[in-house]
Amino acid sequence: MDGETTRQRYESVCKRIDDARARAGRENEPVHLVAVTKYAAMDQVRELIELGHVDFGEGRVQHFLKIAPQVQEYLDRRQVIGEGGEVTQARWHFIGHLQRNKARKLLSQVRLIHSVDSLRLAEEIQAGSENAESPVEVLVQINPSDDRGRHGIAPAAVRHLIEQIETMITIRVRGLMAMAPKVDDPEDARPVFQRVQELFQEIRRSGVGGEHFDILSMGMSNDFEVAIECGANIVRVGSAIFGDTEVAESTAAEKAGA
Ligand SMILES: *Cc1c(COP(=O)(O)O)cnc(C)c1O
């Protein structure tokens, strides 16, 4: 990606998404791109907003609490000087592992939490959202390959967890999130994505998640095209858009347990 601008990389990702949808015969189904900001500088995020992009994802609470207000401030300023155009907001997706004691800080600011993987975390979200006007929308993160280094609930346990969360009034399960194991050839991720898609459809057919169970979030920079071919309707892409010069300070803070 040497020499390419953020804009060029973003447009190339959008085109590859459209091509993958076409290959899969899914031209009429939207696939949402969540731009993952963990490697992004603020001016890159601004550039995407100027291009009309709305959905952003962050996986670290610390970085989220820093960047989300900066983005909001930028949007407010743009409105004031009349450059707002159509876009007046950013929609934030929380995609990382969420510790229970940090969940409440995020609730009012995120549109969708992709990473609910335990009953206890769901209970914490429920407790923190009792006064919310509308339910908190979440995905259940599964660990499709039972990879011990990864977060997420085992596929065999997912249905039961959804049943339990469905009894909670202030949370709504919208679907599943999964990550494939890191592989060099994205084709090697296909069987994993296919398994997740089967599970997703099985749950939909069973009616456990209700009408609103319709989101399948899978696919990252390395494998989003394969994920789309396997039915993903949200992909989470970071480095293919922003490059991979990580924002060093927030990583250091996270490592220090912030
Ligand atoms: C970092 C991250 C992404 C984006 O990863 P890239 O490989 O940079 O596209 C997507 N999903 C989750 C959960 C992540 O942590």
Q: Which atom of ligand 1 is least distant from the CA of 242?
A: 8
Q: How many domains does the chain have?
A: 1
**Candidate of 220, 221, 235 to mutate for ligand 1, largest count of ligand atoms within 8 Å of Cβ:** 220
Torsion from C-alpha of 60, 127, 168, 30, nearest 10 degrees: -30
Mean pLDDT of all residues in 168-175: 95
User: Does the pLDDT at position 252 exceed 50?
Assistant: no
Whether 252 maps to a domain, the answer reads no
Q: Would 249 be classed as within a structural domain?
A: no
Tell which atom from ligand 1 comes closest to the C-alpha of 36. 4
Q: Which domain holds residue 184?
A: 6-244
**DSSP 8-state secondary structure symbol assigned to residue 181:** P
Ligand 1 midpoint to CA 95 (Å):
8
Which residues contact ligand 1 via a Cβ below 6 A?
A: 36, 38, 59, 95-96, 179, 220-222, 236-240
Confirm whether 257 is domain-assigned: no
**pTM metric for this prediction:** 0.91
Question: Is 253 inside a domain boundary?
Answer: no
Alpha-carbon distance 65 to 181, whole Å?
Answer: 28
Mean per-residue pLDDT over the chain, rounded: 90
Which residues make Cβ contacts (< 8 Å) with residue 104, sequence separation at least 6? 124, 127, 128
Residue 194, in any domain of the structure: yes
* Residue 244 alpha carbon, nearest atom of ligand 1: 8
How far away, in angstroms, is 127 Cα from ligand 1 center? Answer: 28
pLDDT digits (tens, 9 = 90+) for 22-74: 999 999 999 999 999 998 999 999 999 999 999 999 999 999 999 999 999 99
* Token output for 80: 């004031």
Statement: residue 6 has pLDDT above 50: yes
Domain assignment present for 139: yes
Burial, 248: exposed, middle or buried (Cβ in 10 Å; 0-12, 13-18, 19+)?
A: exposed
Residue 250 lies in a domain: no
Task: State in Å: Cα 202 to ligand 1 middle.
Answer: 26
DSSP characters over 59-73: --HHHHHHHHHHHHH
Whether residue 255 is contained in a domain is answered as no
Return the CATH number at 163. Answer: 3.20.20.10
Nearest CA to ligand 1 atom 7: 221
